[in-house]
Amino acid sequence: MFFSRIIGQEKAKRLLENVMHRKRVPHAYLFTGISGIGKTSTAKAFTMTLNCPTSSGLDGCGVCPSCRKILNGNFPDFVTIKPDGRKIKIEQIRELNRSLGYAPLSGGFRVCVIHRAETMTGEAANSFLKTLEEPPSGNIFVLNATEPLDLLPTIVSRCQRVSFRPLKTEEIIRRLNKETDLDGSSVAVLAGAAHGSLGRALEMGESNYLEKRRIWIKKLLELYARSSAEAMNMAVESAKEARVGLDQPGNKKVGLFDLLSVWATWYRDLLLVRTGAPTGLLVNGDFREQLEKTASGMPLQNLIESFHLVDRAVVDLHRMRNPTLVLENTVLNLRKFGRTNH
């Protein structure tokens, strides 16, 4: 919750530091970027510095009453709103508006963080827009969203945008080495599979992701030698994984989206091996021998088609299509494209 401990977001931190030095803090911010890269931590650090009476730099002091409350998670003027189910609903925004009618309890700034702001219903978004048009003094809004295009343009135009970038693999590796007891090979796999999200990498490390990943890759390696009936059985068994993924906010268990993510990285690695890329670029570098054997026997176009098949399966599942049918179609086509090397 200190700016100095947030990794890889120097541009975002400099922007907020300049705002605080000028003593003219905009009333609304739009933090954009994938989950797990420091948007919420930055909002907390921002809240701490704004409300710290002795802060002379970017970080709060950490010892005054307001800093201690923020660090302990019980600061009354740090308000969060998260989707109720799949959406942020009008009732949640109305409740927020009612609370804004009272002055901040700390006497400083109240910071309201709206997680996954793009999930606001139309009614909720329009209600929140009215709040942005006439913001109560002493209140700062931070909207967290992956992509600003998913928000009302009128909301975006009233916010100071702060972009957060995916973290470098090396940055994630350093933090995982510092915060976990995982071996170097496991850390490398998690950092590569996290797609720039430290939060996702940490959650994968705390779950059974690494064990599941080896099982899922083993299924792919065996797929090309299986009969159609065996491939169908594999698809049915794979579809029993829960329709969740560790990249989905609030979820802590591996599931179907993680399985497909592993398969996507596998075909990405096959394409890299085929083009002679350095081992360091591979997510599944611990399977280098199997990757080289598979890549050498498959036409390049088949590798590309296989990658697109997995990508389409992810899209279909997000559209709530039947997971068993999606997996059957995907597995049978992957088998077809891969059988040329057997």
Q: Which of helix, strand or coil describes residue 78? A: strand
Task: Give the per-residue pLDDT at 202.
Answer: 92
Is residue 238 within a helix (H) or strand (E), and if so which, with residue range?
Answer: helix 228-238
Task: Give the per-residue pLDDT at 259.
Answer: 92
* Inter-CA distances, 58 with 52, 164, 174, 310, Å: 11, 18, 23, 44
The span from the CA of 254 to the CA of 244, in Å, is 7
Choose among 1, 59, 9: nearest CA to 34.
9
> Position 19: which residue type?
V
Task: Give the per-residue pLDDT at 177.
Answer: 94
Task: Give the per-residue pLDDT at 250.
Answer: 62
Task: Give the per-residue pLDDT at 25.
Answer: 84
The token pair at 104 is 């901040």
The rounded average pLDDT for each run of 10 residues, N- to C-terminus, in the chain (342 residues) is 88 89 86 93 93 84 92 93 92 94 86 95 95 90 92 94 94 93 92 92 91 93 90 89 67 82 95 88 90 90 94 90 90 85 50
pTM to 2 decimal places: 0.84
- The alpha carbon dihedral of 189, 204, 165, 56 has a sign of negative
* Inter-CA distances, 251 with 186, 200, 205, 247, Å: 21, 10, 14, 8
CA dihedral 283, 287, 293, 298 (to 10 degrees): -40
Task: Give the per-residue pLDDT at 297.
Answer: 86
